[in-house]
């Protein structure tokens, strides 16, 4: 097979490489265990306290949930808010994270139909 044919078959020719790279990075973030459920839970609410998130994702340990929330903060998908009066910590999607809502709506639709 010619080199051009191989690149075309892979779906990633030299012109499309950046798209493939972005797609891979996106799935490394949202495909990481528990991240999808965290994002999905936050899509449906204005904000959530840690204990509410933990209740939604019971199988995830608190330690791992904290780790995933920090990672999502670093990716600027989730924002951690601390109420200065009460000290209550809550989490909310950033605009970047909120842009995932239609994606997760479609995943829910697909899952309802096929899973």
Asked if CATH classification 1.10.10.10 holds for the domain at 12-114, the reply, yes or no, is yes
Cα dist from 37 to 52, 77, 92, whole Å: 13, 13, 14
Q: Is the pTM of this model over 0.85?
A: no
Looking at residue 3, what is its pLDDT?
47
CA–CA–CA angle 99, 89, 62 (5° rounding): 85
Asked if the model's pLDDT at residue 32 lies above 60, the reply is: yes
DSSP code of 88? -
Asked if the model's pLDDT at residue 91 lies above 60, the reply is: yes
Residue tagged 């697909």 (tokens) = 110
CA dist 32 and 55 (Å) reads: 19
Domain ranges of the chain: 12-114
Looking at residue 14, what is its pLDDT?
57
pLDDT in tens, 45-63: 889 999 999 999 999 999 9
Mean pLDDT, range 82-98, rounded to an integer: 96
- First vs last Cα of the chain: how many Å apart? 37
């Amino acid at each position: 097979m010619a080199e051009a044919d191989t690149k075309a078959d892979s779906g990633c020719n030299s012109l499309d490489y950046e798209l493939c790279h972005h797609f891979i990075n996106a799935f490394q973030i949202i495909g990481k265990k528990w991240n999808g459920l965290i994002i999905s839970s936050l899509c449906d609410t204005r904000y959530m306290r840690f204990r509410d998130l933990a209740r939604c994702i019971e199988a995830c340990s608190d330690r791992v949930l904290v780790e995933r929330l920090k990672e999502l903060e670093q990716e600027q998908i989730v924002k951690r808010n601390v109420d200065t009066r009460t000290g209550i910590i809550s989490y909310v999607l950033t605009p970047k994270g909120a842009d995932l809502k239609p994606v997760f709506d479609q995943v829910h639709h697909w899952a309802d139909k096929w899973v």
